[in-house]
Amino acid sequence: MFSPETIDFLWGIRFNNNREWFAEHKEQYQRALLAPMKELGAALQASMPDDLRLHISRIYRDMRMHPSTFYKDSLWMCFLGKSGPWLEQPSLCFEVRPEGYRYGFLHFCRPRDMEDFRRLISGRPDEFLKIVEKAERESGVRLYGDEYARPKPCPDPRLERFYRLKWLNGNKDCPPDDLLYSEALVDEVRRSFQAWLPLLRYLQRMG
């Protein structure tokens, strides 16, 4: 699984974001970062529904969007629907970066997605609140995200905190710790994914 060398590599790429450094440390990247991420994804996939696919990010940046930096200083994987870009749908995710790691639920929503989200939860508020309350209780993480400067009009006071959100985040943030370097990480991330899976299913109705 992951090791302190994983974090060392990520700090290294953050402060040495160039092709020469990466070429010298490519074997370290493959062994200490990419291989453990693939191993974690494979271990989790066995307990994921068949219609959710595993996606692992690339370390290489899109130079059209980031011409000054060649590489990302983090690596992530997620489980999401079979089709469509990951940014456009809810996912169960795990990410490791220099400061530590995070795992849980994520949906980077476009404005029109959040409009659909507000209509969905307003139409079925009791079902949504039951799902979220259970997910928050079992994962130990409160659903959050960036908020609008001006709150959206909300027809149901119980939904006000969700109407304020620009996107949806149910990730638990952790510093590098013993769990990250332990095989017990698989069970902990699996537990979190299972807690958030009903919300992912609920939000798939927006598609």
21-40: per-residue pLDDT in tens? 999 999 999 999 999 999 99
Residues 63 and 178: their CA atoms lie apart, in Å, by: 35
Which pLDDT tens digit goes with each residue over 190-202? 999 999 999 999 9
Report how far residue 206's alpha carbon sits from residue 198's, in angstroms, rounded to the nearest whole number: 14
Q: pTM above 0.85?
A: yes
pLDDT band at residue 151, thresholds of 50, 70 and 90? Answer: confident
195 closest CA partner among 135, 150, 112, 111: 135
DSSP string of 158-192? GGHHHHTBSSEEEEEEE-S-TTTTSTHHHHHHHHH
d(CA 165, CA 168): 7
Q: What is the DSSP code string of 37-50?
A: HHHHHHHHHTTS-T
As given in the structure block, the two tokens for residue 130 are 């039951």
Of all residues in the chain, the percent with pLDDT exceeding 70 is: 95
Compute the average pLDDT of residues 181-195.
98
Over residues 46-84, the pLDDT tens digits come to 999 999 999 999 999 875 555 567 899 999 999 998 776
For the segment 166-191, the average pLDDT, to the nearest whole number, is 97
Residue with tokens 């659909």: 116
Note the pLDDT of residue 64. 55
State how far the Cα of 204 lies from the Cα of 60, in Å rounded to an integer: 29
pLDDT tens track for 82-113: 776 766 789 999 999 999 999 999 998 888 88
Mean pLDDT rounded to a whole number for the chain = 93
In the prediction, which pLDDT does 63 show? 53
Q: What is the pLDDT of residues 2-24, one digit of tens each?
A: 999 999 999 999 999 999 999 99
> Coil, strand or helix: which one is 189?
helix
> pLDDT at position 67, please?
57
* pLDDT at residue 108 in the model: 87
Q: What are phi and psi of 186, to 5 degrees?
A: -60, -50
For residue 37, the one-letter residue type is M
